[in-house]
Structure 1
Amino acid sequence: MKDVVGSPGTWSGMALRLSQCVSAGASMGAMATAYGFSNYTAFCYLIASMALQLLWSFGLACLDIYSLKTKRDLHNPVLVTAILSFAAASASAGVTILFERDVHFCRMYPQLSCGRYALSVVLAFITWSFIATSAVSMFWLLPSL
């Protein structure tokens, strides 16, 4: 059985899952502390998808920790929430760009936390990059199952 970097039950896999948890939590925190985020569906969708990603990644990290502790092999295909997270990040990025650059909404309403919107979107894309790395390692591992 191949030992692929980022595969379930390995130290690198656990590090990837914990990185996903941290970046998803940071994205949620940045958006939740921004003023007026709940008025826009894309931002609410981002928080919902990052919450789901946080829970999913935490569960997988716990599974990795259990596997490392008991020295069990976890080379089974695992579902990933990459498409949901990427869609939420893309939708939120589109709204953020619309607000800041296209209609200059942030200049007209300075009480909006446009900087936090942008920070949350960047963190969501970082989360997605960790998810994509996990997905690639899973697809790489799939032929050896």
Structure 2
Amino acid sequence: MKDFPGTPGTLTGLLLRISQFVFAAGSIASMASTSSFFSFTAFCYLIASMGLQVIWSFCVGIVRCIFLDEKKALHNPVLVSLFVVGDWMAVAFAYLSWVTIATSSLIMLWLLAAG
């Protein structure tokens, strides 16, 4: 396997995981701090997906720190396959959460316009 920017075991890969963790944690904090958080089901789905993203990014970030400390690139096909599946599950959850929020937002816009 070739070393691309963002490959596990590189500094760029670690920075990507740290940024994923920070943005997911930030979105959880901003949604959970609203007063009407429990009123909207879409927020609950988004919190669940971002919670999984935080856990996933943190665990993979630790693995990447270990490989970066040992100055080895992660080229184990089993672990790379696990990262691919985990990242695509995170993308799928984020997309599904976005769809539910977009639907809720569109309905609220229609209610406002009909108002």
Same fold (TM over 0.5): yes
Name the residue aligned to 2:111: 103
**Structure 2: distance between partners of 1:84 and 1:27:** 14
Q: Tell me the TM-score normalised to structure 2 length.
A: 0.82
Give 1:68 deviation, angstroms.
Answer: 0.3
The amino acid across from 1:65 in the alignment is C
SS at match of 1:103: helix
Q: 1:108-131: CA deviations, max 9, x gaps?
A: 8xxxxxxxxxxxxxxxxxxxxxxx
Name the residue aligned to 2:35: 35
**Structure 1: distance between partners of 2:110 and 2:55:** 35
Alignment of 1:108-123 (within 5 A): none
Q: Tell me the TM-score normalised to structure 1 length.
A: 0.66
> Quick one: percent identity of the two aligned structures?
36
| Structure 2: unaligned runs, 5 residues or longer | none
SS at match of 1:73: coil
State the 4+ residue runs in structure 1 displaced beyond 6 angstroms.
none
Does structure 1 residue 82 correspond to structure 2 residue 85?
Answer: no
SS at match of 2:73: coil
SS at match of 2:74: coil
Does structure 1 residue 92 correspond to structure 2 residue 101?
Answer: yes
Does 1 or 2 have the higher relative contact order (CA < 8 Å, sep 6+)? 1
Give 1:37 deviation, angstroms.
Answer: 1.7
Q: 1:67-103: CA deviations, max 9, x gaps?
A: 100122312221212111111122113213332x221
- C-alpha contact (below 8 Å) 2:3/2:73 kept by paired residues: no
| Structure 1: unaligned runs, 5 residues or longer | 109-145
